[in-house]
């Protein structure tokens, strides 16, 4: 691509905002040209406003950029968003009304009826919903969201199983990394030598978003997957990487007739984006580990540059049908990387071209 799309980051100083900057460095399609954050950061250089927390050095170009007010006037037409839901609820419609493609990691509009909640490998066709948004009709702008970080890895692992065999029940227990709480996140005296069996709103988000992601677009409305689901969400003393223990009941006609080899084949064959050439789409979105003690966050979270979900310990379940363990990188696949992949998918569909996001005359 000769000319890169200029993009902005709303919430640029936070942990996910920093991850956007890291992942977009040298991206072949996108170039960061605008950074915005809270009023206390506005007007400062990014290097002064942000306490950089990632292991890749902050580039001089980004460090010298001035943090702009969180207003759409001087913003580019493509905006990546990661701010608190209350702020997003106010800001995202403002940017969409100004003709921006708002590609969001925030939760404010994930469950809105006319806003697509998208994971490109799973439900890219849900992007059609943007054409029904009032902002799209008035200014060309729109809002697209990606899911909660704990739902992301689960949905990727379940999609090929649901397609082939059907799923009736889902039981999941998560062990979620502290980076999912942002910075400063959980106090060290609370998390060290400890497990915290509560993350506010997490279980509700995981349950509702998983079923929407696995649902079907019927007309202009998503019908959620008709499965029963329950989630237990825990915070653990791991820096990055959400581990999830999953049990599922398959469709009535199959149940335990599905063999272990059938599961492994479904995961191995699942490569729905292979021919699209999207830079952030991993070659193998779901990777299997045979060892009894894998996946592990420290060893497996960076597979596929953090975009691959690793699965292991597949075995029969004495209560439902089958159970397994999965691991996904919560701030890459589960946050910034997912938003970037959504933007790449939109670009491949021609929905990021200037005519597609400019006001329609």
Which residues have a catalytic role annotated?
A: 149, 242
d(CA 347, CA 343): 6
Strand partners, 326: 244, 311
Distances (CA, A) of 70 to 38, 75, 93: 7, 9, 13
Q: Answer yes or no: are the C-beta atoms of 286 and 270 closer than 8 Å.
A: yes
Q: State the CB neighbour count (10 A cutoff) for residue 151.
A: 32
Q: Which residue has the tokens 């069996």?
A: 197
Beta strands in the chain (DSSP E): 5-10, 30-36, 78-81, 101-104, 142-145, 167-176, 195-196, 216-218, 221-223, 228-236, 242-250, 286-288, 309-316, 322-328
């Amino acid at each position: 691509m000769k000319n890169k799309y200029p993009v902005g980051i709303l919430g640029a100083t936070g942990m996910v905002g920093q991850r956007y900057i890291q992942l977009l460095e040298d991206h072949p399609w996108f170039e960061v040209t605008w950074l915005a954050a809270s009023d206390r950061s506005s007007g400062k250089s990014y290097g002064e406003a942000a306490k950089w927390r990632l292991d890749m050095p902050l580039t001089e170009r980004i460090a010298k950029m001035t943090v702009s007010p969180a207003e759409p006037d001087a913003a580019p037409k493509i905006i990546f968003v990661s701010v608190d839901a209350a702020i997003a609820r106010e800001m995202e419609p403002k940017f969409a009304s100004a003709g921006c493609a708002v590609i969001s990691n925030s939760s404010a509009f994930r469950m809105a009826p006319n806003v697509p909640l998208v994971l490109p490998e799973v439900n890219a066709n849900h992007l059609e919903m943007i054409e029904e948004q009032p902002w799209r009709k008035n200014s060309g702008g729109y809002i697209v969201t990606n899911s909660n970080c704990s739902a992301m890895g689960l949905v990727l692992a379940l999609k090929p199983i649901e397609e082939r065999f059907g799923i009736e029940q889902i039981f999941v227990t998560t062990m979620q990394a502290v980076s999912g709480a942002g910075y400063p996140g959980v106090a060290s005296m609370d998390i060290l030598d400890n497990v915290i069996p509560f993350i506010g709103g997490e279980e509700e988000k995981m349950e509702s978003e998983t079923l929407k992601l696995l649902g079907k677009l019927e007309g202009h409305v998503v019908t959620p997957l008709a499965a029963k689901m329950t989630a237990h969400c825990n915070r653990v003393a791991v820096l990055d990487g959400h581990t999830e223990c999953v049990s599922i009941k398959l469709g009535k006609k199959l149940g335990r007739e599905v063999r272990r080899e059938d599961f492994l084949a479904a995961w191995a064959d699942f490569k729905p984006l292979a021919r699209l050439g999207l830079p952030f789409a991993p070659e193998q979105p779901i990777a299997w580990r045979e060892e009894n003690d894998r996946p592990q966050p420290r060893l497996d979270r960076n597979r596929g540059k953090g975009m691959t979900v690793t699965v292991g310990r597949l075995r029969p379940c004495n209560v439902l049908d089958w159970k397994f363990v999965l691991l996904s990188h919560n701030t890459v696949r589960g946050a910034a990387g997912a938003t970037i992949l959504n933007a790449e998918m939109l670009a491949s569909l021609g929905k990021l071209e200037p005519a597609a996001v400019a006001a329609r005359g």
